[in-house]
Amino acid sequence: MGLMNISWLLQFLIFLYPALFVTYQMYLYRIANNTINSDHIEIKNYPFLSIIVPTKGEKISIIQGLIKNISELIWDKDKMEVIIVSDDTEEYFEEIKSKLIIPEGLKVYLYRREKKLGYKSGALLYGYERSKGELILTIDVDSRLQKDALVKAYSRMITNNCDAVALQWVGYSENTYSKLAKGIMASTFFASKALFEGKEKIHLTVFPVGSGTLFRRDALESVGGWDYKIIQDDLEIGTRLINKNKKICSSGVPIYIEVPDNFFSFYIQQTRWAMGTGEVIRNRLRYIITAKVGLLKKIDMIFHLLQYTPILFTFIGSVILVVLAPFINYDPLKTPLFLFWGIILGLYAYIIYEVAIKLGFRRRDAIFSLGRVSGFTVAISPFIFYYFLKGLLSNRKTYIITPKGGNKISKQYRTIIIIGLLGIIYTLAVIIYLLHHNYFTSLWLAYYSSGFLYTLLTFNKEL
């Protein structure tokens, strides 16, 4: 490959491809309605609802909090059951059963999976097979709903003839000091608004969410429920529902999702999602290609599954730049695309900042929180790259439950060592490019290396 071709490749990987992805998301966010208008029907005859809750290693107080939250929801409690599927040890499971307080009138069933087929998807399938509801709601144990959330979601399902309704994620954290958590809350709100309300407004297809999707039972029956062999339960079952021509709707109804408030839980969450997304592409891409929907919808759904590729492409580009540093005698990133990328990045940062202010964060907190998320995301990009490829190419996988708050994972400190070494390597490459007067490339690499060095210096503030 000639030097000019390498330069074009680098500009595509680092500037053009990520900028186009971000531009598309900003467009979706801007066209999203503030709220989705839905006729709230008066429910005279409630259908039977089964709420499936997978759990492992969660504090009993967290499970108790969810049960209390569910008991306060507007729904006919005679037509509701809560199915908690535990993957805990037998000893802890017995402790959960003995200490949980079940509100009067609420039917709660606790099961322990002795034969653990798969992970969360397997737990959902286990609960589904033991449920009897005409409607199925999947929810994580640390998620919370407003009192009228079920009624609004069901109204949306009826008035729009939906087979599944995805609730809108709104992040929360008990850790009011975590800048990381605040930054994730803002980016979660932005993504949820864009990928659900924005897409629905221009008649594109939305996917279910892992916590907070209301399904019709007959829709789940049409695909046989969840596939326990696949990690990413929402994307996996979404592709098969879409292939069966089932309609998945956005709701505009918030569900409050606890976000990571420390570096290691953020690392675990993102690498697991990256691996799960790669696995879905490998196993379920054909369901999108063969779905009876228009070409534009297919392209959009494939883009949705490629959501981690801008991070991967940028990392690949940075590695090529480091390898070429001692040998190249021109500035490979000297291009108008640098300015285009910078403008898009600035606009994206401003929109997320606006979201943070809208969520009630102080200006200083908003700026520092977004900087922390950005820096940490750059720092874990090599690991996202590795796990995405692992999901895409290998059947062998491991699944780590995300400790959303308060857990220190000492074994993960090797991750920090790798991040620190990469920060040093990138900094050396910056110096080499500067010595050769390749100022555009050195400037971009300085920006990129700062994420690694920043994480090395600040990760212990987010533990």
Q: pLDDT tens digits, the chain, 463 residues: what are they?
A: 555 678 999 999 999 999 999 999 999 999 986 555 555 677 888 999 999 999 999 999 999 999 999 999 999 999 999 999 999 999 999 999 999 999 999 999 999 998 888 889 999 999 999 999 999 999 999 999 999 999 999 999 999 999 999 999 999 999 988 999 999 999 999 999 999 999 999 999 999 999 999 999 999 999 999 999 999 999 999 999 999 999 999 988 999 999 999 999 999 999 999 999 999 999 999 999 999 999 999 999 999 999 999 999 999 999 999 999 998 888 999 999 999 999 999 999 999 999 999 999 999 999 999 999 999 999 999 999 999 999 999 776 555 555 454 444 555 778 999 999 999 999 999 999 999 999 999 999 999 999 999 999 988 876 5
Does 296 reside within a domain? no
Do 77 and 195 belong to one domain?
Answer: yes
Do 16 and 84 belong to one domain?
Answer: no
Do 60 and 23 belong to one domain?
Answer: no
Q: By residue range, what is the domain housing residue 365?
A: 3-28+307-400+408-461
Does 289 reside within a domain? no
Q: Locate 268 and state its tokens.
A: 């675990």
Does 295 reside within a domain? no
Do 63 and 8 belong to one domain?
Answer: no
Residue at 137: amino acid letter? L
In the listed set 260, 284, 319, which residue is the last one of a domain according to the structure? 260
Do 140 and 184 belong to one domain?
Answer: yes
What's the CA gap between 391 and 395, in Å, rounded?
7
Domain count within the chain: 2
Do 196 and 90 belong to one domain?
Answer: yes
What's the CA gap between 191 and 423, in Å, rounded?
29
Do 119 and 186 belong to one domain?
Answer: yes
Residues 6+ apart with CB under 8 A from 460: none
Do 134 and 228 belong to one domain?
Answer: yes
What's the CA gap between 81 and 254, in Å, rounded?
21
**Strand-strand pairing, 248-258 and 164-172:** parallel
Does 277 reside within a domain? no
Output the domain CATH number for residue 187. 3.90.550.10
**Burial status of residue 405 (CB atoms within 10 A of its CB: 0-12, 13-18, 19 or more):** middle
**Strand-strand pairing, 164-172 and 213-216:** antiparallel
Does 186 reside within a domain? yes
Do 218 and 355 belong to one domain?
Answer: no
End-to-end CA distance of the chain: 45
Q: Where are the alpha helices (DSSP H) in 224-325?
A: 233-243, 263-289, 295-305, 309-324
Q: Is the pTM of this model over 0.75?
A: yes
Do 164 and 121 belong to one domain?
Answer: yes
